[in-house]
Amino acid sequence: MRLAAACGLVCGGLMTSGAFAGEDPGGPRTAAVVAGDLVARLGTDRTAGSWTTADGRTVVAVTDRDAAAEVRAAGADPKVVRHSTDRLLAAAESLREAPRVPGTAWSVDYRTNEVRVRADSTVSADDWSRMTELAESIGGFVRMERTRGAFTTRVDGASSIIGDQRRCSAGFNVTDGREAFILTAGHCGPEGTAWFRGGGQGLGLLGTTTASAFPGSDYSLVRYEDEDAAGLTNTVAIGGGRGVRIIGIADPVVGAQVFRSGSTTGFRTGRVTAVNATVNYPEGTVSGLIETTVCAEPGDSGGPLFSEGLALGVTSGGDGDCSTGGTTYFQPVTDALQALGMRMAGITAPAPPGGEPGTEAGALPAPGAPPAGATGGASLPGAEIPPGPGEGRRVTSIVEFDDPGLGLGVIGASLGLLVGARWIGAAQDRRNFRNFQSASWG
């Protein structure tokens, strides 16, 4: 009995320490931080971006061998390339200054050291020819590609929100410290747009758009009608009664696996292929976007992009669908929050030196595969996955072994078992002593 109790104390201690260690915002430096420090130190004239490989290694592109040695000394893998970040961005700026062609998009591909220009099926042969001539005049590192389908915004939902003849997805819950808002895509609707829950107007007014930016950027704010929503946390519903707790914000890393949730196609995954991408939608041009291989369809607009518990972006648009695949672009959360003067609701992690609030918060692993029929997004009041008390921790299995409450429970039970074992032992000793005295003096 004492052995079992001792084992219980050890196990409970490990469970508790492991759970709190997993939520410590002061953990080891991430690959993004290491790469960012290297690029800042070496400069954009000697570097050409960074990315994460499929096996988790951090690669930093550099233009000379001395810089490569510094990268290697910092624990990352260097790749010597021909064109610097400055030159790649100058090429992208030349494309931006040229006459606008709807149906085109471009981004810097750091892994191939190229600027990749894409033209969808709506681009005419004459426009394609003019774009090709421009690319050739810039340099041989600008690569032209034709894509299937057309670049469109994904209006039509995460938790579904319904407007006037439009449907979008809730992204993340944000706040200015006084009121609560939903961060979603700007193309979903202009200021003054009224939004209702996914079931339509019969479920009552959810909120009204108070700020919107599109084109140029692609974000908007929907102020909750319910004043009690001010205490909301952030949990992304992924279907099947499950959710992922959002504990911070971050800028994405090229090559990293990311996850998206939307009311049309549910929970999907892919990888980041580029940042600071530009897309020429029919409605206008949007720049500074995250480019990914995650699929999306109409109605997924505004839905959340996240990874390991960190909010990354909200769905903007793209081409293709979830049957044939395609490219999807996202508005970065960090840029939107800074422009709007907002912060994520329910996140109190302090800002690291030189970083955004919450960017260094501990991360919870995101689920690795989409559940059947999953739909989700930011949890709304009364939605399928209501935010829990405190930080909104979600239990997604029968026994959650990284739960500190469970660990403390095991410790308490083990202590009770030890006390019981000691009492039983003492009682047995007393009986043995009386029996001995009776035998000796009887």
- Asked if 277 and 310 sit in the same domain, the reply is yes
Mean pLDDT, 10 residues at a time, the chain of 442 residues: 56 46 41 84 95 92 96 95 96 94 95 95 94 93 91 62 83 92 94 81 79 97 81 80 90 94 92 96 96 94 94 95 94 97 79 40 36 48 37 31 51 62 60 48 38
- Asked if 183 and 272 sit in the same domain, the reply is yes
Kindly report the CATH number assigned to the domain that includes residue 357.
2.40.10.10
- Our count of domains for the chain comes to 2
Question: Can you list the positions of beta strands (E) in 176-319?
Answer: 180-184, 194-197, 205-213, 219-224, 235-239, 242-245, 248-249, 257-262, 266-281, 284-292, 304-307, 310-318
Place of tokens 């009682």: 427
State pTM to two decimals: 0.72
Annotated active-site residue in 156, 218, 300, 319 = 218
Is residue 199 within 8 Å of residue 260, measured between CB atoms?
no
266-293: b (≥16 Cβ within 10 Å) or e: bbbbbbbbbbbbbbbbeeebbbebbbbb
Q: Is residue 198 part of a domain?
A: yes
Domain range enclosing 262: 152-378
The confidence score (pLDDT) of residue 397 equals 27
Q: Is residue 71 part of a domain?
A: no
Q: Is residue 392 part of a domain?
A: no
The confidence score (pLDDT) of residue 441 equals 42
Is residue 403 annotated as a catalytic residue, yes or no? no
Of 102, 131, 146, the last residue of a domain is: 146
The confidence score (pLDDT) of residue 238 equals 81
- Asked if 268 and 363 sit in the same domain, the reply is yes
- Asked if 165 and 302 sit in the same domain, the reply is yes
The confidence score (pLDDT) of residue 427 equals 61
- Asked if 352 and 292 sit in the same domain, the reply is yes
- Asked if 135 and 273 sit in the same domain, the reply is no
Residue 369, classified by CB atoms within 10 Å of its CB into exposed (0-12), middle (13-18) or buried (19+), is exposed
Rounded CA separation 31/20 (Å): 22
Q: Is residue 353 part of a domain?
A: yes
- Asked if 107 and 190 sit in the same domain, the reply is no
68 Cβ contact partners less than 8 Å away, ≥ 6 residues apart: 62, 78, 79, 80
The confidence score (pLDDT) of residue 233 equals 76
Rounded CA separation 169/167 (Å): 7
DSSP bridge partners of 262: 266
- Asked if 119 and 156 sit in the same domain, the reply is no
Q: Is residue 35 part of a domain?
A: no
- Asked if 193 and 118 sit in the same domain, the reply is no
Annotated active-site residue in 50, 84, 263, 301 = 301
The confidence score (pLDDT) of residue 387 equals 35
Q: Is residue 425 part of a domain?
A: no
- Asked if 185 and 291 sit in the same domain, the reply is yes
Is residue 187 annotated as a catalytic residue, yes or no? yes
- Asked if 113 and 204 sit in the same domain, the reply is no
CA dihedral 280, 283, 286, 289 (to 10 degrees): -80
Place of tokens 């930016």: 213
Annotated active-site residue in 187, 316, 379, 414 = 187
- Asked if 118 and 157 sit in the same domain, the reply is no
Kindly report the CATH number assigned to the domain that includes residue 93.
3.30.300
The confidence score (pLDDT) of residue 311 equals 96
Is residue 160 annotated as a catalytic residue, yes or no? no
